[in-house]
Structure 1
Amino acid sequence: MSVVIIADNNDGALKANLPLFLSQDYPGGFEVIVVVASDGDDTAGVIESYSKVPNFYATYVPKSSRYMSRRKLAVTLGVKAAKHEWVLLTDAACRPVTDKWIGNMSSCRHRGVDMVYGYGNYAEGTGQFKMFSRFHREYLLIREAQSGMGYGMAGCNLMFRKSMFMAGNGFQGNLKYLRGEYDFLVNKYASTGNIAVCLEPEAFIVEETPTAKGWHDRNVFYFETRRHLERSVRHRALFNSDMLSLHACFVAALCALGYSILFHNWLILLFSAIALFVPLIVRTLFARRAMDAFGLAVPWFKVVPFELRLVWHGLKYAVAYRMSDKYEFISHKS
């Protein structure tokens, strides 16, 4: 196994997390490759301290590289440098939850599988809505991957065949878009039946809490990324129909409740109360069951309010995207 880690001006995270990658318990043997996309801090110093570790290798994206995403170029350099057929890609801002991460991801390499989707969420201490929002998107994407056709990826925990990446010319066709490297990989290379999902808790990764700017950029950049993904209409239709039904149920039930109270129609009051609370209870129970499976600790009474908030959260960043300069999202500035 070749573990490729992208470092992007986050020397503190790399210093804290690199030992957890190098100390993995994987009898099959593995190497760790750090590719530095941007080095405006002490990343070079961190790398130098591991220069004598036998299964460690590091390389840098040339400063002269222009007109293409440095992060996508970093992934490409890492894959090309990999000595093994299977590449496990992640970010320096992430850490495996156990030393069995490689082993558990590797166990999902069944016959006919070229890509394995792994789960990840933010570290403890991150705001509950941010963690819920991340989980909600991951869950939808995992369901699509389980159906045999992946659409994209919210996290940084992806394993794939080097030969598949090279045969498909890597990120050819979307190198100019600065972000979305995981989304583009899954969207381009996940075909019917060749993607598996690893849901073993020991295969999870944890990502450091995003800064306010990082959170803003991730949400805004996604609106640019999804414009260039295949099967986008189908994916968005699933989310939009779910949110529409939730809001419609909520509004209709509240209107019926108001009418029944205003005109003292207690039969309508009873049925409108049932129509309001039963769907909310069912949604909460299903959500809690899913969150428990992934170890997400969000109080039950926040589930539906958070789901309602997702739409307005998305609209906020959609407006921010519409108002932004579109040259911010590509490497070709002129």
Structure 2
Amino acid sequence: MFTFDNTTIILSAVLLVMALLTPLVSPFFRKVRMTEPVLEDETDTEEEKNEAKLPPISIIFAPDDNAEELSKYLPLYLNQQYEAPFQVIVVAPQKDNETEDVLKRFADNEHLYTTFIPQSSRYMSRKKLAITLGVKAARYDWILMADICSYPQTENWLQTIARNCTKDKELVVGYTRYEDETPAYRRFEQLFHALYIMREYQKDKAYRCCFTALLFRKGIFLKEEGFRGNLKYLRGEYDFMVNKYAKGHNLAFENTPEGTLIEEIPTEKIWKNKHLFYMENRQHMLRTARHRLLPCLDQVVLHLNYLMEMAAIITGLLLNQLTIVVAAALSLLLTMILRTVIAKKKLNQFNENIPTWRVVPYEIAIMWHYISYKMMYHKADKYDFISHKL
């Protein structure tokens, strides 16, 4: 039965207004600044050209049972077209025969330097120890920490990300995305969280780094004692670095396709550990509450809107109030259309091909996946996240 009393009209209006406004409360709607390609202008002065010169760079890899990835991707880094000197430092565990065999194949390359972690090292993250050893062995002040399971798309990747190494910067983060063959939900979730992080970068409120390319200055790393304060935590090298060293305007971000690394399809174990270790690490990072506030607000708004629309449909059917049922159904349809259109625009901007019909269920699923990982984390042995230093 269709009725048009004041209560029905107000309720219907509220539902429609929420359907119009709540899709705007989303990381997909907020603007993320895209890095513009820098072209050399013939009118630049000599001083400006000198300022734009690329710095020498040391790239550090710390593989751990990654001989296959090292064999595939190390040549892509060694063969980068870079106008300034650069070196690639591989810090590998001692007696890792497969990794040693791979490194021997590239031993004659002028850019490659190899060193090893002693087997006796304990009571600290071996990955962080490897990075620290790499930093100390580096020839140059600018150091690029990358993951050997990620690879550049072009031979100009290094010069694209390095153009951000200016006098006023101490950190440069490079965008990373998963391979196209990665399950669609994982690519969706990765970008979903990355959008919050990129917004924090452009507002000079950097909290963490969910990407696998990070440039920093050797002098500052050594002066501030590197990973001191978080050495015992097994993971989170990129997160802890940005959380500790990002201050004011000292961080730059590169997200052009040429400056993007492609990360291999994560295994189920890697995907699960990525979530669980972050839940542990964030308890020991600064500015965590501020970082989590906006994502929590977005999830509350998203689910509250859907709950109100579904409740209105059910209540209207029970009370035979067809006006409310129609208004709620239209609101639900409008919400889904707007959220899909807004999300697809951002997904396309970052070259993520996610089927249109999956956007709404994926967006709803974010919170429920988070809850499932939260339950796993609470059941986990907390000593699994540290190097057992008592």
TM range (shorter): over 0.9
Question: Residue 156 of structure 1: which of 206, 212, 224 is its match?
Answer: 212
Verify the 8 A CA contact 1:7 1:38 in the aligned structure 2: no
Larger gyration radius, structure 1 or structure 2: 2
Q: Which residue of 2 aligns with 1:314?
A: 370
Give the Å deviation of 1:41. 5.7
Whether 1:116 and 2:168 are equivalent positions in the alignment is no
Verify the 8 A CA contact 1:132 1:306 in the aligned structure 2: yes
Deviates more, 1:102-111 or 1:194-203: 102-111
Alignment of 1:79-158 (within 5 A): 79-158=135-214
Give the Å deviation of 1:37. 4.9
Distance across 2 between alignment mates of 1:116 and 1:250: 39
Q: Name which structure has the greater RCO, CA cutoff 8 Å, separation 6+.
A: 2
Whether 1:166 and 2:222 are equivalent positions in the alignment is yes
Verify the 8 A CA contact 2:67 2:98 in the aligned structure 1: yes
Give the Å deviation of 1:90. 0.6
Deviations 1:280-325 (A, max 9, x none): 3333222222221211111122122111111111111111111111
Opposite residue 142 of structure 1, the aligned amino acid is M
Distance across 2 between alignment mates of 1:39 and 1:330: 24
Give the Å deviation of 1:12. 0.5
Distance across 2 between alignment mates of 1:317 and 1:301: 25
Q: Could you tell me the TM-score, scaled by structure 2's length?
A: 0.82
Question: Residue 277 of structure 2: which of 212, 216, 221 is its match?
Answer: 221
Whether 1:13 and 2:73 are equivalent positions in the alignment is no
Q: CA RMSD in A?
A: 1.6
Give the Å deviation of 1:224. 0.6
Structure 2, unpaired ranges of 5+: 1-56
Question: Residue 290 of structure 2: which of 221, 234, 239 is its match?
Answer: 234
Distance across 1 between alignment mates of 2:95 and 2:377: 27
Aligned residues: 334
Distance across 2 between alignment mates of 1:103 and 1:333: 40
Distance across 2 between alignment mates of 1:296 and 1:208: 15
Give the Å deviation of 1:261. 3.0
Q: Could you tell me the TM-score, scaled by structure 1's length?
A: 0.95
Verify the 8 A CA contact 1:87 1:162 in the aligned structure 2: yes
Q: Which residue of 2 aligns with 1:44?
A: 100
Alignment of 1:185-196 (within 5 A): 185-196=241-252
Verify the 8 A CA contact 1:14 1:46 in the aligned structure 2: yes
Opposite residue 179 of structure 1, the aligned amino acid is R
Distance across 2 between alignment mates of 1:328 and 1:59: 27
Opposite residue 190 of structure 2, the aligned amino acid is R
Verify the 8 A CA contact 1:120 1:155 in the aligned structure 2: yes
Alignment of 1:257-268 (within 5 A): 257-268=313-324
Distance across 2 between alignment mates of 1:109 and 1:13: 28
Verify the 8 A CA contact 2:125 2:386 in the aligned structure 1: yes
Structure 1, unpaired ranges of 5+: none
Distance across 2 between alignment mates of 1:97 and 1:171: 30
Distance across 2 between alignment mates of 1:236 and 1:13: 34
Give the Å deviation of 1:38. 7.4
- The 3-state SS of whatever aligns with 1:295 is coil
